Chains A and B, each alone.
Chain A
Amino acid sequence: MLIRRPSDILPSEITSRDIYLNRRQWMTGAAGLAFAGLAGSADAAPLSTVKSPFSTDEKPTSREDVTHYNNYYEFGVDKSAPAANAHTLKTKPWTVKIDGLVDKPADYALEDLIKPATLEERIYRMRCVEGWSMVIPWVGFPLADLIKRVEPKSGAKYVAFETVYRPAEMVGQRGILPVLDWPYVEGLRMDEATHPLALLAVGLYGETLENQNGAPIRLVVPWKYGFKGIKSITRLSFVEKEPPTSWNRQASNEYGFYANVNPAVDHPRWSQATERRIGEGGLFAKRRPTLLFNGYADQVASLYSGMDLRKFY
């Protein structure tokens, strides 16, 4: 068996701290974003944003809770596992493949996808299918902007998304009993994907995303259950037919393609009528009623007019 000795590392190959830190400025410069210096956590760089009329005025969940209570099964099934394990994922450099029925397919460097966009702060409610919710100040740009730029063909009826598959860097993707069939995949109908509320998030609380929140780029569709918000996206495919989605493949009677927040349609194993707002009242917090389309009915209900929401859950 051939065992190769590791080659000696040349001093010139070692990135100096200055250059390492400078790499964090990719968000600025050409992107036209003010760079406010390296404050905050080592992993998050500040972002400059404009405010959005789509933001809720509800009190945001604390940054600590937003970054330490996560479902990101690629890093383990416990809510605290992503914060503990996600640092192993390398998010720089990052490319997003755009393919399928589209006029400008390519492997885009992340910075090239973000550069033309104006980053907005969007404070959205987030409702998890498990019955809890948060209010999260995302930073991102409308998915519709990106879709417009890459010019989908008329036959494209859906957008399929894919999370990065790197078992060496994502502990939950290893092991003999995978919780889900990796890589994680999600999808939206084209009219959902181009809806102004659908957001590609690159940050939260004014800084770049932490890995456990889906760095470097993730989907946020606030009127749907949280699992639709696919994280660490490496691929968008424009397709004709409804694409498979991970949780639907895992248990189709429990998780549908649409996954719209709906208090009247129970999950088979629990009621969706109410939710617990994280960080509100501690141990003795009261449940609050869940709203149709997570309170975004005025904006999105028309997408589903005439559809039986019990059938298309």
Chain B
Amino acid sequence: MANKAAPIAKPFQVPKIALYVIGFIPAVWLFYQGVNDRLGADPMRYLEQALGLWALRFLIATLMVTPLRQLFNVNLLRYRRALGLLTFYYAVLHLTTYLVLDQGLDWAAIGGDIVKRPYITIGMATFVILIPLAVTSNNASIRRLGGQAWARLHKLVYVAAIGAALHFLLVVKSWPMEPIVYAAIVAVLLGYRLARALNRRAVPKRQAA
């Protein structure tokens, strides 16, 4: 409660724009290295995978905002929109790399991939889910939809997180460590929310008894 009595002067806050600037450093750096042939023997594959991985990292960062606030009293809520949008921008870059550099816009091959390859089907569905979330990530949309409906819509991010983790798990051969670790982090972040939701439902019952 000491927090409420804290001095009126606002503590220094990192401006949101800084997050976008920092957030795009990996993309710029990857493209710079790629154009200068510094991404190893298979630069397209490296770029494609790195961009996808950054999308997943930003998605995880987005999902960490709430538990950090509830468990550790660290409030990063004002940055959540930027983190979510960075997730979307990296997903766009990842998908563009796949469509243009990997498949050379061969729509027959791409269509075949989407229909026949579960990891690509899932990846594409995950991207589609992110679109309405990105489009409504602004104050005007919250006002238009109403807070509750907006919040319900944005629960889709949980589905996107499962999709992204599965997409990574299914693309690799065998069961290497890295995608398992990312999937475990997603599972913990979603499990935390599920446990809290179940708890909240259980508590009133106990009080009524």
Contacts and interface: CB of A to CB of B under 8 A. Distances in A.
B43 A283 contact: yes
Pick from B37, B45, B112, B173 the residue with the most CB of A within 10 Å.
B173
Interface residues of B, number: 32
Nearest to A70: B41
B204 interface: no
B113 A271 contact: yes
Contact of A179 (B35, B103, B170, B175): B175
Pick from A69, A177, A269, A283 the residue with the most CB of B within 10 Å.
A283
A270 B117 contact: yes
A242 to B, nearest CB: 22
B174 A250 contact: yes
A20 B206 CA distance: 78
The bracket for how many chain A residues form the interface is 20 to 34
B112 A283 contact: no
A100 interface: no
B180 A273 contact: no
Contact of A279 (B41, B171, B173, B176): B41
B101 A69 contact: no
B177 A284 contact: no
Interface string B125-155: 0000000000000000000000000000000
B177 A177 contact: yes
Contacts of B106: 287
Contact of A269 (B39, B104, B112, B170): B170
Contacts of A68: 40-41
Contacts of A80: 40
A276 interface: yes
Interface string A234-276: 0000000000000100110010000000000010111101101
A191 interface: no
A180 interface: yes
Given A269-B118, A271-B109, A251 B41 contact: no
B166 interface: no
A77 interface: yes
B117 A179 contact: no
Contacts of A179: 174-176
A149 to B, nearest CB: 36
A286 interface: yes
Contacts of B119: 269
A296 interface: no
A302 B150 CA distance: 64
B109 A273 contact: yes
Contacts of A268: 117
Interface string A164-192: 00000000000001011000000000000
Contacts of B118: 269
Interface of B: 34-35, 37, 39-45, 47, 101, 103-104, 106, 109, 112-113, 116-119, 170-178, 180
